[in-house]
Amino acid sequence: MKKLILFACLFLFLSFSYSQTGWLQVSSFGTNPGSLLMYRYVPTAVPANAPLVVVLHGCTQNATNYSGYSGWDTLANHHKFYVIHAGQQAANNSSSCFNWFLPTDYKRGQGECFSVKQMIDYMKSHYSIDSTKVFVTGLSAGACLTAVMLGAYPEIFSAGAIMAGAPYKSATDATSAYNAMNGLVVKTPVAWGDSVRKENPTYTGNFPKVEIFQGTSDLTVNPVNATELIKQWTNVHNTDTIADSINTSFNGNSLVKMKQYFDLSGKTVVQTYMISSMQHGIAVYPGTCFQQGGTTALGSYSYAENFYSSFWAAEFFGIINNPYSITGPITVTHSQTNIIFSVPNHAGSTYQWSFPAGVTIVSGQGTNQVTVNWGSASGFVSVNETDSGSCIIGPIELYVTATSNTGIFESNENADVTIFSNQSENTLNIKSSLKNYNVFIYDLTGRLLQTENNQSNNSIIHLPNNLQQGIYMLKIISDEKMFSSKFIKM
């Protein structure tokens, strides 16, 4: 009887520990070869299969204060994901920097990077984590360790956000770390890419996409490192260092320049934000608006730039729950007229719409509903809402495919296309009478997730590793036909 009572008490204790919300230090999470500290944050009402974000502080900081400066726990409350805050100890580094530059800490299966990996394993074993939605971000030394985690464990992460950091394996000791931080370590894209590939010689899966934040007046981590990071991760993704999209005034903020780099399938694999005149640290936007957050304080290495870097990292990760989506068609024909797109109307709000080149706005710019005449280009319909309190929501986007209306018709006949979803391989197998066709995969809001071009009748489409369970739309378009269908990702 005593054993039964003891077992019941232990069960209740463990259940309470695992379900307890808020901030909690975890004292035992594996062998912890890097002797790091682990804290986890659990929001209320977090759903099953929730995302997980690993947050890494900078030098002279600790997990607790960086949590407040960066605002990741507040974002977790709003958007329902788990957070790990890893902490350094003075016994490991007198400045509380992560030792991202030591081979004993940056190699797979060793030291500090293995300790962080064990923290993730702990969360996966104790909470309902979507293993395809694990992300990592950090500032300064934490940003450098972010690059380490992405390079050493690419199979774990879908994406990472590096805030004032340096490339993976840019240093091997304290002296070379100093040189790297000062922008003196410059390599070719192939050499940088090999640093990642050689750490994982048998890895054949997808590599995480990478977002880079950097102040142009940073005297601690030279902005040259942003260029070197671009070289490294574009090469890992088998693409070039020429930006495919440039926004010189991101979200209306002339201080922020955003660039995107696409892979061969057109997906963004590297994205950068250069913040003009910002010193070493993170950009925050204190306030209560949807896209605001973070705090500033003396010595916090956080600067009010009307740009909330943590929010835009989370948006890049795909874990921001936008308050609404655009209603409208996701497929139009060339030169189609009087097409309507809309979003919910809020009193006192103004709405700024943008469309692909060649689209003419007939009416409604500034309101929640616009009528347009299309051109011939596919692309994103986007809208920014500015409410009565000057808060901005957006851009909210909808990808629209434009097709020629000559000789194309939609067919769902099995004789044309057969689709088989292979859940174990995370693939779609397509058998078709068509040749040289394009495949488009959307979510139910019309957001384009993936594109492929296939020359043969039969093809295998490898779905993104971070594609969560749900219903998705598939379009196959050739010169003669357009096929549409839905499929379920289990």
Residue with tokens 């922008």: 183
Residues 6+ apart with CB under 8 A from 435: 455, 456, 457, 478
Longest alpha-carbon distance in the chain: 80
Instruction: Please name the residue ranges forming H helices in 353-479.
Output: none
Q: Which residues pair with 37 in a beta bridge?
A: 87
Q: Can you tell me the distance from the alpha carbon of 326 to that of 300, in angstroms, rounded to the nearest whole number?
A: 38
Residue with tokens 């682990």: 38
Residues 6+ apart with CB under 8 A from 28: none
Residues 6+ apart with CB under 8 A from 134: 51, 52, 54, 120, 156, 157, 158
Q: Can you tell me the distance from the alpha carbon of 465 to that of 334, in angstroms, rounded to the nearest whole number?
A: 33
Catalytic residue among 140, 309, 432, 459: 140
Which strands, in side-by-side order, build the sheet including 379-386? Answer: 331-333, 392-403, 379-386, 350-354
Contact 441, 478 (CB under 8 A): no
Position 429: which residue type? N
Tokens linked to 85:
């805050």
**What kind and span of H or E run contains 163?**
strand 159-163
Three-class DSSP category at 384? strand
484 is catalytic: no
Spatial CA neighbour of 219 closest among 295, 278, 305 = 278
Q: Which residues pair with 135 in a beta bridge?
A: 53, 159
Environment class of 230 (CB within 10 Å of its CB; exposed 0-12, middle 13-18, buried 19+): buried
Q: Can you tell me the distance from the alpha carbon of 55 to that of 61, in angstroms, rounded to the nearest whole number?
A: 12
Q: Can you tell me the distance from the alpha carbon of 413 to that of 323, in angstroms, rounded to the nearest whole number?
A: 37
Contact 461, 439 (CB under 8 A): yes
**What kind and span of H or E run contains 442?**
strand 437-442
Catalytic residues: 140
